[in-house]
């Protein structure tokens, strides 16, 4: 059961409240290059991304927002640091959401200008607290190093700036590269506020490290009912970020998508199973309906061990079986096993 939060509109989708959990990523192309940005975003869309963030180096790149938005189909978020002019121009260009910290874009008057325009154009703001860049005074009050309490204190300060300007269309993130710190900060925040939460382990590393850290951190919070939108941070292909995020949501039963069940293989395995399992896994990314598919190492134990699968295969000694809900329905040559499985899934 998810914690109840405010429901915030971002473009044509919602974050928080009773809205489904959304997947985010970030464009890794230069915002000066409209074509490259659009190509990346369309690839992210195809992978299942629900909204995407874009960073900027100067006003010239901010002015590309409208051209990019005309060619994509998901909400676009502007990642703004320190410069209120970037935020104002992003709103003028039709951005769907801002990611900024109101405490570091200028004085009160500049913040008020941004908030006034955001309110007028129905643009929500994500406050992004990062353990690696906490304010010096907060660090000093918390022993000189990041703590969950310090991160929540930072978020509270930024929230108060917006609330004092009568703005409550707020989403919050409290990211850290340390999983335990990140989880503790989000849990503490969720006890105090009902703003929607953007979950993520920041600077999580390359694919193996990011997959493990993100699955533990994001997964733990989602199991607690905390979190409304997620971003897997990966030093690598941003499409892989979306694929990992989908897997996290899928295995927590928060997205209804195909699930692969496959055994680790052992000395009883008498066929070249591992490449087929990988091929089936890749094929299932093209399927949108929920079903469980099993690829098992042996025909003796496979059907029984994978009884929960809707359909599965196992092989041995040049032959293979197709089974449905644990019951064998046909036998085919091993060379035809993958094609027969695909045919039956598509008939399904």
pTM: 0.91
- Based on the domain organization, do 246 and 289 belong to the same domain? no
pLDDT at 232: 97
Helix (H, G, I), strand (E, B) or coil at 15: strand
Per-residue pLDDT, 3: 66
Domain that holds residue 310: 259-347
Q: What is the pLDDT of residues 56-67, one digit of tens each?
A: 999 999 999 999
Q: How far apart are CA 296 and CA 301, in angstroms?
A: 8
What is the secondary structure of 19-63 as a DSSP string? SPPEEEEE--S-TT-HHHHHHHHHHHHHHT--EEEEE-SSHHHHT
Residue 305 lies in a domain: yes
CATH number at residue 341: 3.30.413.10
* Residue where one domain finishes, among candidates 235, 251, 267: 251
Nearest residue to 252 (alpha-carbon basis) of 278, 226, 233, 234: 226
Question: Do both 270 and 241 map to the same domain?
Answer: no
**Residue 301 and residue 224 share a domain:** no
- CATH number of the domain within which 235 lies: 3.20.20.20
Instruction: Please give the average pLDDT of every successive group of 10 residues along the chain, which has 348 residues.
Output: 84 96 96 97 96 95 97 96 92 96 83 95 95 86 91 94 96 96 97 96 92 97 97 94 95 92 88 93 88 88 82 90 89 92 89
240 and 332 belong to one structural domain? no
CA pair distance 299, 288, nearest whole angstrom: 28
The number of beta carbons lying within 10 Å of the beta carbon of residue 314 is: 28
For 67-83, how does the pLDDT look when each residue is reduced to its tens digit (9 = 90+)? 999 999 999 999 998 88
Residue 266 burial class via C-beta count within 10 angstroms: exposed 0-12, middle 13-18, buried 19 and up: exposed
pLDDT (tens digit per residue) in 323-332: 998 889 999 9
pLDDT at 1: 52
């Amino acid at each position: 059961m998810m914690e109840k939060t405010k429901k915030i509109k971002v473009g044509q989708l919602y974050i928080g409240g009773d809205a489904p959990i959304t997947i985010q990523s970030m464009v890794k192309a230069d915002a000066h290059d409209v074509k490259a940005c659009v190509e990346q975003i369309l690839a992210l869309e195809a992978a299942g991304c629900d909204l995407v963030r874009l960073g900027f180096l100067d006003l010239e790149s901010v002015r590309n927002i409208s051209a990019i938005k005309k060619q994509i189909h998901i909400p676009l978020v502007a990642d703004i640091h320190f410069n209120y002019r970037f935020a104002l121009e992003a709103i003028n260009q039709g951005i769907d959401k801002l990611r900024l910290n109101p405490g570091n874009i200028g004085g009160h008057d500049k913040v008020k200008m941004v908030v006034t325009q955001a309110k007028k154009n129905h643009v929500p703001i994500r406050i992004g607290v990062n353990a690696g860049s906490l304010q010096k005074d907060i660090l000093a009050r918390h022993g000189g190093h990041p703590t969950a309490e310090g991160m929540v204190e930072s978020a509270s300060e930024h929230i108060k700036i917006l609330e004092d300007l009568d703005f409550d269309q707020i989403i919050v993130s409290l990211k850290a590269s340390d999983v335990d710190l990140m989880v503790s900060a989000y849990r503490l925040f969720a006890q105090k506020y009902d703003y929607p939460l953007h979950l993520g382990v920041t600077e999580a590393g390359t694919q193996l490290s990011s997959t493990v850290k993100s699955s533990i951190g994001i997964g733990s919070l989602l199991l607690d009912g905390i979190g409304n939108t997620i971003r897997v941070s990966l030093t690598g292909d941003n499409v892989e970020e979306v694929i990992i995020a989908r897997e996290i949501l899928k295995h927590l039963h928060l997205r209804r998508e195909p699930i692969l069940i496959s055994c680790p293989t052992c000395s009883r395995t008498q066929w070249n199973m591992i490449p087929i399992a990988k091929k089936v896994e890749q094929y299932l990314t093209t399927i949108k309906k929920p079903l469980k598919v099993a690829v098992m190492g042996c025909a003796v134990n496979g059907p029984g061990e994978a009884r929960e699968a809707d359909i599965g295969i196992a092989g041995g000694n040049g032959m293979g079986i197709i089974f449905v809900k644990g019951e064998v329905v046909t036998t085919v040559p091993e060379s035809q096993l993958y094609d027969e499985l695909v045919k039956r899934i598509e008939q399904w």
